[in-house]
Amino acid sequence: MTTSSTPTTTGHDAAHAGPVVRVSDLRKSYGTKVAVDGVSFTVDRGEIFGILGPNGAGKTTTVECLAGLRQADSGSIELLGLDPQHDPTPVREVLGVQLQESKLPAKLRVREALELYASFYPDPEDPEALISLLGLGERRDTPYQNLSGGQQQRLSIALALVGRPQVAILDELTTGLDPQARREAWDLVEKVRDSGVTIVLVTHFMDEAERLCDRLVVIDRGRVVAEGTPGDLSGGSRGSRTFRVVLPVAPPEGLLTGLPSVTSVRDVGRELEISGTDTVLPDAIAALSGCGIIPDEVRTRTRSLEDAFVELVTRETEETAP
Ligand SMILES: Nc1ncnc2c1ncn2[C@@H]1O[C@H](COP(=O)(O)OP(=O)(O)OP(=O)(O)O)[C@@H](O)[C@H]1O
């Protein structure tokens, strides 16, 4: 998407080839608590890369190390050829960070906040262009405390972008937003990516990852437990299908389980749940109708990233802050 008001990146390091982020075997403990336990991933230019995991999985620690805000115990991190752990200063020029629940002074107005942050950078984005990109035009003179949750989040994204970063880290972007504001934030993230910024999105929402991410890692207890596109992870491309039918009579014994594409048949209340490979649905319906059994109802269901996530992740029994 390009509009006259869309900020463009200046290309602090546009010539850098290969992945823009490379994290290898990252480890970090807080005392005896192992927060990050050998995490590795790469992020390619122009993608929205997700770091998905339950509370306490180690996501924030990982991106804080990536941003050079926290010192890792071991492992290596490269961001556009720079090392945030040993040389964080140049990293600040190419990286924008929107950290979880960042708060601003209550009386600071939208435009003032952007101008203040812009003053930290040698070649900042025009605050007006960002105000327009983020739909804050009518709020430019509103104090931070009077913004809605969605507007505060949009401002925090604007602040992460004001230094014209090549890479932006957005942490728990939509936590606490209502459904409408979440959707607006998602549209905005896509708009920012389309303007040329690579995005690392930290989230514990499956729907958010499914909707936005080109690729993602799932982290649980400090380790990467899965990696791929949302489609890869939800198994949509692995040819596993499940559907349910309500039948007027029970099918003959072995009719369905005898079909090569059927892997399991289960009674679930008044429904029969049939699972199998790609052709399981047409095969089963054909076999049933061959015996004169026409289903009263057929219900298909696509396996979602959420299903995959629940299978992958064993939730830690940790207290989570309200
Ligand atoms: N400063 C700290 N001191 C001690 N333990 C910490 C500290 N920061 C995080 N932890 C612990 O390290 C683990 C990983 O935390 P982290 O914040 O990285 O996870 P997260 O996946 O971002 O979770 P959340 O979504 O809840 O923020 C958690 O068990 C957390 O309690």
Return the residue whose CA atom lies nearest to atom 31 of ligand 1.
Answer: 56
pLDDT of 79 = 95
Residue 15 has a pLDDT of 54
In a domain, 92, yes or no: yes
CA-closest residue to ligand 1 atom 25: 55
Nearest residue (CA) to ligand 1, atom 14? 58
Q: Which pLDDT value is given to residue 154?
A: 85
Shortest-distance Cα residue to atom 30 of ligand 1: 56
Same domain, 259 and 149: no
Maximum C-alpha span of the chain: 76
Compute the distance between CA of residue 151 and CA of residue 146 in angstroms, rounded to an integer.
9
What is the per-residue pLDDT for 185?
Answer: 82
Give the pLDDT score at 55: 87
- The set of residues, in sequence order, having a beta carbon less than 8 Å from that of 115 and lying 6+ positions away, is 127
Backbone angles phi, psi at 36, to 5 degrees: -130, 125
User: How far is residue 234 from each of residues 239, 264, 277, measured CA to CA in Å?
Assistant: 11, 19, 15
- Asked if residue 138 and residue 61 are part of one domain, the reply reads yes
136 within domain boundaries: yes
Token pair 């095969």: residue? 283
Say yes or no: 189 and 152 in one domain. yes
- Structurally, how many domains does the chain consist of? 2
Residues of the chain with pLDDT under 70: 1-17, 100-102, 235-239, 301-304, 307, 311-322
Q: How high is the pLDDT of residue 84? A: 93
Domain that holds residue 110: 21-234
Q: Which two tokens stand for residue 128?
A: 């007006």
228's tokens: 């791929």
The predicted structure's pLDDT at residue 317: 39
Does 172 share its domain with 282? no
Predicted pLDDT of residue 320 = 40
Ligand 1 — pocket residues by CB below 6 A?
Answer: 30, 33, 35, 53, 55-61, 204
CA distance 28 to 219: 14
Q: What is the tens place of the pLDDT at every residue in 279-297? A: 999 999 999 999 999 999 9
Q: Does some domain include residue 308?
A: no
What's the pLDDT score for residue 262?
92
Most informative mutation of 60, 202, 206, 315 for ligand 1 (most atoms within 8 A of CB):
60
Please report how many Cα atoms fall inside a 13 Å half-sphere around the Cα of residue 321, on the Cβ side.
4
Domain co-membership, 175 together with 283: no
